[in-house]
Amino acid sequence: MLEFPELTGRTRRDYWLAIIREVVAAHQFIRTYQLEGVGKAEALAKAVLGIARLRATKETFHVLPPRPESLLTYSLGAEMPGGDLILAELANLLRNTGHVDGKVDGETYQGSKVYASSAAAVVASFGPKSPKGIEKSKDSPVPIGEILIGEITPLEKAIVQSRDNTKKVLLAQATIEGVKVEGIGTNVAVMKELLVPLLAVITWLQAAFAWEEPSKSLTFCAFGCYVIYKGWLSYVPPAALALLAAYMAYVRHMRNNNNEPIKEVVVSTPPNQSTVEQLLALQQALSQLESLIQAGNIFLLKTRALILSALPEATNQVMMLLFGLAAALLILPTRWLVLITFLNVFTSEMPARAESTRRFTRRISEWWYGIPVVPVRFLKPEERENSPK
């Protein structure tokens, strides 16, 4: 039934892969929601029906659809937005298959999927009532088997919500496809333009720490010290998030009042680069990444050497420093430690302290460069197997 002898290459592979995924997803669905009996049989029947739809589509159009999983129940439910909610409601429906209780117009009824008669249910729903009762029944859900005609079931609600979400996702994906560009230089230019606000904040902070404008730096330092002294440091992240939300609300309000569309991101086109130039830029970036990894390895090896006392004098100094920090953390309040650290770091580039900071940094660098690293030995795979554990 499922053989496609005329299909060759990737098409046959995609077809059988979709079938296998649907069967696996169906059994996983049954295990997840613990379906048994009639519910389990109907769950498997829905998987078979989806596979039959896929085959019928191929037989009709002589090609497979671009997305075969769109015709398969459980594969589509696993991919589409809100599909998990649809599968959960479907499981509830299948779990109650064969028997359902309900109430219409204040009267309790019981319906059976196998034995309920649609015509009898419709007649019974009207019954020997007055015309007023008939008008009332027109606006009420009518029980037919397990279904209440005129009432939206939770499964239908989940499907409608998922369809709406899918439309939103497709529209969003269409906008993404429109802004994708090729080339390393072009993508870097776009990223730089998008990061302009963040880079502006970082540049301002660097200027404040460098004391390029002493008045602004002094104001920022005084404000930071006051916040730390009052113990308001824990309120800074919530305040920053609240200000960001307020700014977003303000921008949306202004845009709605002026009926202005969303402004485009204007990026200056970088100079065209040939394929060789792009490969050279990529090679340079990889070399820089390799240098960073090497620096990280050296840092870890030197730290290991300090712990193992490869240079006893340096290890003793680190031990004394750690004991001093432990004593400070034990004696001084955390607020004062943060305040002292902030003042020391922020004022390190002040004109009065710049020279002493440079001397201190040089001494630390010389001390760090004088620490040897732990030797590293590489083993071949066969040597690793024979090496003692």
The Cα 104–Cα 171 span in angstroms is 41
Of 303, 338, 298, 340, whose CA–CA distance to 318 is shortest?
Answer: 303
HSE-CB of 382 using CA atoms within 13 angstroms:
0
In tens, the pLDDT along 198-207 reads 999 999 988 8
Instruction: Give pLDDT, residue 354.
Output: 85
Q: How far is CA 363 from CA 302, 313, 369, in A?
A: 17, 15, 10
Where exactly are the structural domains of the chain? 10-96+156-162, 181-258
CA distance 368 to 162: 59
From the number of C-beta atoms within 10 Å of its C-beta (0-12, 13-18, 19+), residue 220 rates as: middle
Strands (E), 89-216: 100-104, 107-111, 142-144, 147-149
- Give the pLDDT score at 388: 56
Q: Which two tokens stand for residue 387?
A: 């090496």
Q: Which residues of the chain have pLDDT under 70?
A: 1-9, 97-151, 383-389
Q: Output the pLDDT for position 287.
A: 92
Q: What is the pLDDT at residue 296?
A: 93
pLDDT score, position 168: 86
